Chains A and B, each alone.
Chain A
Amino acid sequence: MKKPKSIQTPLDDRVCRGLRAGDRVLLSGEVYTARDVAHRRLYETILRCKKIPIPIRGETIFYAAPTPARPGRIIGSMGPTTSSRMDPYTPKLLEVGLKGMIGKGKRSAGVIEAMKKYGAVYFGAIGGVAALMAQCVRRAEVAAYGEMGPEAIMRLTVEDLPLVVVNDVQGGDLYEKALYLFRDGK
């Protein structure tokens, strides 16, 4: 198997341009968790020209809400939720500098276009391997919207998080490629 590329957040244009749909990567550094309501709040804050509570330029958002940590542990189980629910809010976040997204499932045409325009990458994390994935988390703290409980934005420090590039900056799409290569039971 081809060796995965090690990459570090915050992501820059050079790193993003070097990634292709289907590449395996090991991502290290800080990422922010955010899902449905957090996205709507970030989006509405940007529209009102107010400051959002997390840094966004070059940053990576992980569509996730972990289980609560057991005493003595950094985090509970953690994995991706379905990304398409964040699609209506994503182009705006890309416009203000978001570079990486981690989730599962297809993105809208609008998001894919905005990714090309702003040079961002969408990574797939394997869904439902949350006990295993949590082992990559070195640090976890609430960064914003703490009152939303499991839906709060958390700042995670991860090490060698195994991901697959689903959509790259050139418009490459792993899901489309997979259907083409494997349809009819090939």
Chain B
Amino acid sequence: MSSLRKISCKTIRDTVERLFLEASTDLGKDVLGALKKAASAEKSELARFAMERIIENARVAREECLPLCQDTGMAVLFLEIGQDVHVTGGNLYDAVQEGVRRAYRKGHLRKSLCDPLSRVNTQDNTPAVIHTEFVPGNRIRIVAMPKGGGSENMSSVTMLLPTAGVDGIRKLIVDKVRKAGPNPCPPTIVGVGIGGSIEQASLLAKKALLRPLGQRNRRDKRLAKLEAETLKEINNLGIGPQGYGGRATALAVHVEMIPCHIASLPVAINIQCHAARHKEAVI
């Protein structure tokens, strides 16, 4: 048992602000490494041209502190809150929203949220999407993930037949990536959530995108195998970087799984563009 620890809303707000500012301009080393490796495998001129520009963009964005992509995303957050944390000085959710508001204002990031019907912009990129989970301990882990709309539009949940099996799942994933084609800005990362209820599958697929890029599922060998086989099939589709033709349609497939109802087999597929942005901190 850890002892009770106070964490102020101000600390939470400032951390959220910093993480979104960093995530928008500084591409993770794992992503950059995977992009460079993928670039070296391309034979076609157009694929190489696209990959070189993507890699060069990451350098310019980091050096000049500019957003990597004009779509600075919906602000998605994962908070793992130690059960021995006492949040002081206000409301946790308000503090997170204020951190997002400040980051998008200070960083000159695009405000991309609107009323679904009138399409009137909310002006400050809130409300952010906040997922919370309680864990042992007295710290808070915050993961900030700006998620672009183009790749999110190519994502889905499918309720497969319970007997579809691993083959059915593999076919579904490859089919969704084929149909998405050039739209989600390949090379992409494909997050897959199998099982649970419809909303759990979606959340699992999104969380799968946060795994260090290319690391195989370590809990279940069947899933590690599914990841490797699916990635190979996807990269044989020919779509390639930006759909210009080539090998690198996806950089990785990450699959996570939890038990589901005997009548169901939910499979969520969350596609992430090559600007795979996320930063985390523990406070």
Residues on A facing B (Cβ under 8 Å): 1-2, 22, 24, 36-37, 64-70, 76-79, 81-82, 84, 104-106, 124, 126-135, 148-151, 162, 164, 174-175, 177-186
Contacts and interface: CB of A to CB of B under 8 A. Distances in A.
Contacts of A130: 57, 66-70
A75 B246 CA distance: 32
Contacts of A180: 238
A130 B44 CA distance: 23
Contacts of B123: 149
Contacts of A36: 119
Interface in B106-152: 108-112, 119, 121, 123, 148-150
Interface stretch (B3-11, B158-166, B180-188, B251-259): B180-188
Contact of B49 (A24, A78, A134, A148): A24
Nearest to B55: A129
Given A24-B46, A36-B119, A124 B70 contact: no
A173 to B, nearest CB: 10
B109 to A, nearest CB: 6
Given A129-B53, A151-B121, 19 more contacts: A2-B45, A24-B46, A67-B67, A67-B108, A78-B70, A81-B71, A106-B243, A124-B182, A128-B57, A129-B54, A151-B119, A164-B49, A178-B245, A179-B237, A179-B238, A181-B245, A182-B238, A182-B246, A183-B236
Given A1-B45, A64-B70, A150-B111, A132 B53 contact: yes
B167 interface: no
Contact of A178 (B61, B235, B240): B240
B165 to A, nearest CB: 25
Contacts of B121: 148-151
B239 interface: yes
B273 interface: yes
